[in-house]
Amino acid sequence: MELQNLKGVGEATAKKLAILGVTSLSDLLQFYPRRYDDYSVITKIAALKPGAVSIEATIKQITGRYVRRGMHITEAVVSDETGSARLVWFNQPYRANATKVNQPYFISGTFEISRGRPVITNPAMERASDFPVNAARIIPIYRETKGLKSSTIRKIMAAMKASIEAMPENLPESVIASNKLIPRSSAVSAMHFPASLDDLEEARRRLGFEEVFGLSLASVLNKREAAQEKTHIIPFDDVLAKNFVQALPFTLTDAQRSVSWKILQDMQNDMPMNRMVEGDVGSGKTVVAALAAVMAIKHGYQVALMAPTELLARQHAETIYKLLTPVDMQDQVALLTGSTKPKDRTALYNAIASGKSKFIVGTHALITDKVDMHNLGLVIVDEQHRFGVEQRKALQKKAGGRMPHVLSMTATPIPRTLALTLYGELDISIIAQKPSNRLPIITEIISPNSRAQLYAKIDTELDSGRQMFVVCPLISESETVKALSAEKVYEQLSTKHFKNRKVGLLHGKMKPDEKESIMNSFARGELDILVSTTVIEVGVDVPNATVMMVEGAERFGLAQMHQLRGRVGRGEHQGYCYLIMSDSKEPSRRLRALESSTDGFKLSELDLEIRGPGAIYGQSQSGQLDLRVAKLTDVHLIESARNAAVAFVDGGEALANYPALAAHVAQYRSITNLN
Ligand code: ADP
Ligand code: MG
């Protein structure tokens, strides 16, 4: 049914609803209030106390008048059997005519004593009835848009009451019973017409449970399906492991050791590994992945390493080349990206097909590339958290029908609740420790008028041979967004304060080889300062860079800034991160959090709290996830829904018996790249 044909909606209102993202009947029913004002308790007039109140009273008298141009006052006297009270409305000239004297009304508003006289100002008022809409109840406050007020939405909902109460159940009876949930119709009904705050709590629990249950089912089913697969066993070769580890220029941390051990064990199993390694920036994930890779190569398998950008793919290829040299596998490394020239590409394809190259480094596009990887034993994915069903199938096809072992690596710590819900199909290992030579990065929020002092400090660093990153929110000046651009900052720094330094510019619109040459000169120490956009966000590794200056810091997300900060302090030198604000306002909670903590886990929990779940998935995915009620910080809810999902799958009942739920689950199962 079209929304505009609903009672009380019409074409104009339907358009307004669309602005709020409500385009179907089901959207409308699930358009839950933002918050509630509790006006449910009706008080006798004689007992009124200052504050939010509701009364049921008869209008004795009501009159309106202009006290001056543009200022209209309506005054009324109302009474119940205990006494009378005065009501005042400003600029509501229609009030007096729309009100019937000697009739009972519900009146809700703020009661106060003004100049010794009790009064309720601008109250909501409607004829007393069994189903109050805008007064004398727990009043839902909806998200509004210009021309569509909460009060109108309440009326639309009131007209929908029967449809809401007839909504079908979508959860299995057993799940409802064992988790003591209320029926779906009662829950949705209570969201729009709560009889009590307890009701509302129950409704939220039920609807939040439903959301998390769906997500958890998806991850449980994905995991069970993956466990059916058989793959290559990659035995552990202790001589090789020893040689590899002994040749490293550092000793592995205990955390790196134990995670490596887990991975090597996974690969000795014929069930495909699906493990995610979480480790804060700089915790040393690459070497862990490389150790797994040499094991696979040793036994004749191909390894694919996929990075989110070409820049990172190149860097990885170089790092891997160095790491593999002592075990004499460096010639097996091949870099294949979108900008590989056709001639080189053919040669690469041949080298890979003949087994000469076994370690293929590229972007996520490797999956769809024509390269022959039928003997693929291990896939390493950098900075993509999870493959959806479709991607897993593509990977399997690429590997000649066998699901390879998959290792993903991420520097974005995932709060435990989220890990359970969304990543339940993954085994997760955490590198909770950084190499011991690292000093915690010193972070400071800088207001724009302290630039001079800041530049002096930076000069000291640069004088002692260190390097600096400067990250800007935009590539070039924009008319619509007032923020510093990389081009502008580059121009300023290289012609003014830092004119005697070597300054480079890097941004996403440059050609890949241009980017590469700039990045390389920075890495070789030929540039002192690199001005860029967030292209350097993930993974870039230049241990001699110690200063990260973030321009327009308030424009970046918390997780993103934490990533940026991770670009410095990667060697033995002290790292500094300066968050430059574009004005001298109070710093936001985000910036202050960053200043006070370098713990990625703590920051991600905080990010979740500040921005809500949407923060984690990025814009495009938050809609897909459809979490309207569940709070991902509600550990109890999430654990119980997760357990219920496991129990349901173990129970063996077909999901297809619940078509609405099945449709949701299918959608969740294919969601990918949640970062
Ligand atoms: P990330 O986890 O952010 O991907 P990298 O793997 O890029 O981190 O490692 C960051 C830097 O730390 C690299 O220069 C790497 O060589 C170095 N590194 C890795 N492990 C250790 C270790 N155990 N001790 C000292 N340095 C290490
Ligand atoms: Mg990395």
Task: Tell me the per-residue pLDDT of 552-571, one tens digit each, with 9 for 90 and over.
Answer: 998 888 878 888 898 888 77
- 453 and 327 share a domain? no
Specify the residue with its C-alpha closest to ligand 1, atom 16.
Answer: 284
- The per-residue pLDDT for 626 is 63
Q: In what order do the strands lie in the sheet with 442-446?
A: 442-446, 576-580, 545-550, 467-471, 529-532, 503-506
- The per-residue pLDDT for 538 is 58
**Exposed, middle or buried by CB within 10 Å (0-12, 13-18, 19+), for 552?**
buried
Domain boundary among 574, 597, 620: 597
Mean pLDDT computed over 17-34: 91
Q: In sequence order, what E strands does 462-575 have?
A: 467-471, 503-506, 529-532, 545-550
Contacts of 602 (CB under 8 A, 6+ apart): none
- 310 and 390 share a domain? yes
Report phi then psi at 251, rounded to 5: -95, 140
| 314 C-alpha to ligand 2 centroid (Å) | 12
Specify the residue with its C-alpha closest to ligand 1, atom 18.
Answer: 284
List all residues whose CB is within 6 A of at least one atom of ligand 1: 250, 252-253, 256, 279, 281-287, 411, 435, 437, 539, 541, 543, 570
Q: The domain containing residue 564 runs over which residues?
A: 442-597
- 406 and 447 share a domain? no
Q: Which of 170, 183, 182 is nearest to 213 (CA)?
A: 170
- 177 located within any domain: no
| 566 C-alpha to ligand 2 centroid (Å) | 10
- The per-residue pLDDT for 323 is 96
Provide the 3-class DSSP secondary structure of residue 440: coil
Specify the residue with its C-alpha closest to ligand 1, atom 17.
Answer: 284
The CATH number of the domain holding residue 110 is 2.40.50.140
- 406 and 475 share a domain? no
Tokens representing 627 are 């979490």
Provide the 3-class DSSP secondary structure of residue 468: strand
| 309 C-alpha to ligand 2 centroid (Å) | 12
- 538 and 452 share a domain? yes
Q: How many degrees, rounded to 5, is the angle at CA 278 between CA 277 and CA 279?
A: 115
- 208 located within any domain: no
- 447 and 583 share a domain? yes
- 665 located within any domain: no
- For 437-487, how does the pLDDT look when each residue is reduced to its tens digit (9 = 90+)? 778 899 999 998 899 999 999 999 999 999 999 999 888 777 666 678 899
The residue type found at 646 is V
Cα dihedral 397/403/409/414 (nearest 10): 100
Contacts of 579 (CB under 8 A, 6+ apart): 443, 444, 445, 446, 550, 553, 561, 587, 591, 594, 595
- 203 located within any domain: no
Domain boundary among 136, 154, 172: 136
- The per-residue pLDDT for 480 is 66
- 378 and 453 share a domain? no
- The per-residue pLDDT for 425 is 82
Tokens representing 172 are 């299995």
- 352 and 395 share a domain? yes
- 614 located within any domain: no
Q: Evaluate whether 403 touches 392 at the Cβ level (below 8 Å).
A: yes
Q: Evaluate whether 630 touches 637 at the Cβ level (below 8 Å).
A: yes
- For 188-198, how does the pLDDT look when each residue is reduced to its tens digit (9 = 90+)? 999 999 999 99
- For 211-240, how does the pLDDT look when each residue is reduced to its tens digit (9 = 90+)? 999 989 998 998 888 888 899 999 999 999
**HSE (CB half, 13 Å, CA atoms) of 29?**
20
Total domains present in the chain: 3
- The per-residue pLDDT for 392 is 80
Ligand 1 nearest atom to the CA of residue 541, by list position = 7
> How do beta strands 576-580 and 442-446 pair?
parallel
- Cα 590 to its chain centre, rounded Å, is 15
The CATH number of the domain holding residue 545 is 3.40.50.300
- 436 located within any domain: no
